[in-house]
Amino acid sequence: MPDHSTIVRALRRACPAFIAAALLLAGVGLKVSPSAAEGGRAIPAPAVDLPAGPASPAVAVFAGGCFWGVQGVFQHTEGVRNAVSGYAGGDRATAIYEVVGSGRTGHAEAVAVTYDPARISYGRLLQIFFSVAHDPTELDRQGPDIGPQYRSAIFPADAGQARVAQAYIAQLDRGHAFASPIVTRIEPGHAFYPAEDYHQDFLTRHPTHPYIVFNDLPKIADLKRLFPDLYRAEPALVGSGRVN
């Protein structure tokens, strides 16, 4: 379980969302506009993708704001075997939640997605990442969370992933898929470090947490709405020890 300081920090960084969601949970008749939380949007699939691979798993690492919601989205994605919250972009010694929160470590809150290339491609994961997991036009922030540790970034495992990601960003910008340019950074050559246990499976374990209710459950609904063929109702949880 997180200590008191961790809980306070999480609530403070989500203050606007916390207030609105708390009112909702208390039964107050508050109407929340769709723009209050990050809203998913339909975007075209990538024109350039990696070929379908064998059944051996591959790993993709994405950063898009607080890792609770990004992890939850990919845990509900067909073809994903595992999704782990963690840190990427900095050194092992600073891959600690309270230290990363300073915004001075180089780390971003990230999620390592282990997937089956025979069931889902890297390009389709990118499509979900840009469409529902976060807003790729927000610079060094996502929703109520502000700082470089919440930046939009892709940490490619190899040149092939980097090439597909670069081509897809160019495709989306060229087609004006978003009202503003995409600010997602492609950052190769960085290791991924898993986050503390209490961050894993957070969305599933705390579905009534105000931050989750306001910011992240809408992402799961958007995944189901926009990608019905890739949505899975039962998440692939870290804590279950299962390979799905």
CATH number of the structural domain spanning residue 93: 3.30.1060.10
Q: Which helix (H) or strand (E) holds 80?
A: strand 80-88
Is residue 92 one of the residues assigned to a domain? yes
Is residue 7 classed as helix, strand or coil in its secondary structure?
helix
Q: Kind of pairing, strands 192-194 and 145-146?
A: unpaired
Average pLDDT over residues 21-32: 38
Q: Is residue 217 part of a domain?
A: no
pLDDT at 172 over 50: yes
pLDDT band of residue 222 (cuts 50, 70, 90) is very high
Task: Report the alpha-carbon distance of residue 60 to residue 122 in Å, rounded.
Answer: 7
Q: Mean pLDDT, to the nearest integer, of 211-232?
A: 98
- List the domain range (segments joined by +) for residue 172: 53-206
- Strands 152-155 and 185-186, sheet pairing: parallel
Tell me how far apart the alpha carbons of residues 212 and 203 are, in angstroms, rounded to a whole number.
Answer: 6
Nearest to 115 by CA among 166, 80, 78: 80
Q: What is the pLDDT of residue 9?
A: 55
145-146 and 108-115 beta bridge pairing: unpaired
Which pLDDT tens digit goes with each residue over 60-112?
Answer: 999 999 999 999 999 999 999 999 999 999 999 999 999 999 999 999 999 99
Write down the catalytic residue from 20, 43, 58, 66: 66
Does the residue 45 lie in any domain? no
Q: List the structure tokens of 114.
A: 């282990």
Residue 65 lies in a domain: yes
Strands 152-155 and 58-64: antiparallel
* Residue 110 in domain: yes
Distance CA 79, CA 43 (A): 20
User: Which of 11-20, 109-118, 194-203 has the least mean pLDDT?
Assistant: 11-20
Domain count, the chain: 1
Confirm whether 219 is domain-assigned: no
Handedness of CA 212, 103, 168, 111 (dihedral sign): negative
Nearest in space to 105 (alpha carbons), one of 190, 184, 199, 211: 190
| Residue 180 is assigned to a structural domain of this protein | yes
Mean pLDDT computed over 41-60: 92
- The question of whether 66 is a catalytic residue gets the answer yes
Q: What predicted TM-score, i.e. pTM, was given to this entire model?
A: 0.86
